[in-house]
Amino acid sequence: MTDPFKLWSYLSSEPLLWLWATLLAYWLGDLIFRMTRRSPFANPVMIAVVLLGSVLLATHTPYERYFDGAQFVHFMLGPATVCLAVPLYDNLPKVKRALLPIAAGLIVGSTTAVVSVLAIAKAMGAGPILLASLAPKSVTAPVAIGISQQLGGEPSLTAVLVIITGMIGAIVVTPMLNLLGFRDWRARGLAVGVAAHGIGTARAFQVHETAGAFASIGMGMNAVLTAFLAPVILSLF
Amino acid sequence: MIPALSLILMFQLVGEILSRALVLPLPGPVLGMIFLLIALSASERVRNVVRPVAQFILAHLSLLFVPAGVGIVAHLSDLQEHGFGLALALVVSTMAAIIAGAAAFVFVAKLIGSRADD
Check residue A10 and give its pLDDT. Answer: 81
Check residue A1 and give its pLDDT. Answer: 61
Final residue belonging to a domain, choices B17, B37, B59: B59
Identity of the residue in A57, A113, A150 whose CB atom sits nearest the CB atom of B97: A113
Task: Please list the ranges in chain A whose pLDDT falls under 70.
Answer: 1, 40
In this predicted structure, the answer to whether residue B116 has a pLDDT above a threshold of 70 is no
Of B31, B26, B9, B65, nearest to A231 (Cα)? B26
In this predicted structure, the answer to whether residue B117 has a pLDDT above a threshold of 70 is no
Determine whether the interchain pair A141/B65 forms a contact, defined as Cβ–Cβ distance below 8 Å.
Answer: yes
Check residue B88 and give its pLDDT. Answer: 94
> Does residue B20 sit at the A interface (CB-CB below 8 Å)?
no
Check residue B105 and give its pLDDT. Answer: 97
Give which of A34, A61, A81, A173 to mutate to test B binding, by max B Cβ within 10 Å. Answer: A81
Whole domain around residue B99: which residue ranges?
72-118
Q: How far is A206 from chain B (nearest CA, A)?
A: 15
Identity of the residue in A67, A105, A155 whose CB atom sits nearest the CB atom of B101: A105
Q: Do residues B78 and B109 share a domain?
A: yes
Residue A143 with chain B: CB contacts under 8 Å? 27, 29-30
A window 168-187, beta carbon within 8 A of B: 168-169, 172-173, 176-177, 180, 182, 184-187
> What is the rounded average pLDDT for all residues in chain B?
89
Q: Residue B90 domain-assigned?
A: yes
Residue A37 phi, psi dihedral angles, 5° rounding: 50, 50
Q: Do residues B15 and B45 share a domain?
A: yes
**What average pLDDT does the segment B64-86 reach?**
83
> What is the number of structural domains in chain B?
2
In this predicted structure, the answer to whether residue B118 has a pLDDT above a threshold of 60 is no
Q: Residue B67 domain-assigned?
A: no
Check residue A40 and give its pLDDT. Answer: 65
Check residue B12 and give its pLDDT. Answer: 96
DSSP code, position B73: G
Q: Residue B19 domain-assigned?
A: yes
d(CA A131, CA A118): 6
Check residue A45 and give its pLDDT. Answer: 82
Q: Do residues B2 and B35 share a domain?
A: yes
Domain ranges of chain A: 4-75, 83-234
The number of C-alpha atoms within 13 Å of A57 and in the hemisphere containing its C-beta is 13
Q: Do residues B19 and B53 share a domain?
A: yes
Q: Residue B66 domain-assigned?
A: no
Determine whether the interchain pair A168/B94 forms a contact, defined as Cβ–Cβ distance below 8 Å.
Answer: yes
Q: Do residues B48 and B5 share a domain?
A: yes
How far apart are the two ends of chain A, measured CA to CA in Å? 61
Final residue belonging to a domain, choices B12, B37, B59: B59
Check residue A204 and give its pLDDT. Answer: 84
Find the residue in A nearest to B39 (Cα): A85
Q: Residue B117 domain-assigned?
A: yes
Q: Residue B65 domain-assigned?
A: no
> Does residue A164 sit at the B interface (CB-CB below 8 Å)?
yes
DSSP A99-142: HHHHHHHHHHHHHHHHHHHHHHHHHTT--HHHHHHHTTTTS-HH
User: For A203-222, how does the pLDDT look when each residue is reduced to its tens digit (9 = 90+)?
Assistant: 787 778 788 878 888 988 89
Of A231, A189, A221, nearest to A110 (Cα)? A221
**What average pLDDT does the segment B99-106 reach?**
97
Q: Do residues B55 and B76 share a domain?
A: no
Determine whether the interchain pair A82/B36 forms a contact, defined as Cβ–Cβ distance below 8 Å.
Answer: yes
Determine whether the interchain pair A176/B99 forms a contact, defined as Cβ–Cβ distance below 8 Å.
Answer: yes
> Does residue A17 sit at the B interface (CB-CB below 8 Å)?
no
Check residue B42 and give its pLDDT. Answer: 96
> Does residue B28 sit at the A interface (CB-CB below 8 Å)?
yes
Determine whether the interchain pair B82/A73 forms a contact, defined as Cβ–Cβ distance below 8 Å.
Answer: no
Alpha carbon A211 to chain centroid distance? 19
Identity of the residue in A84, A162, A185 whose CB atom sits nearest the CB atom of B33: A84
User: What separation in angstroms does the CA of A46 have from each of A2, A192, A196, B65, B89?
Assistant: 36, 19, 15, 10, 20
What percent of chain A is modeled with pLDDT above 90?
55
Q: Do residues B7 and B49 share a domain?
A: yes
Q: Do residues B94 and B54 share a domain?
A: no
Tell which wins on pLDDT, A192 or B24: A192
**What average pLDDT does the segment B88-100 reach?**
97
Q: Residue B14 domain-assigned?
A: yes
Q: How large is the ipTM?
A: 0.86
Residue B111 CB contacts under 8 Å (≥ 6 apart), including other chains? none
Q: Do residues B54 and B77 share a domain?
A: no
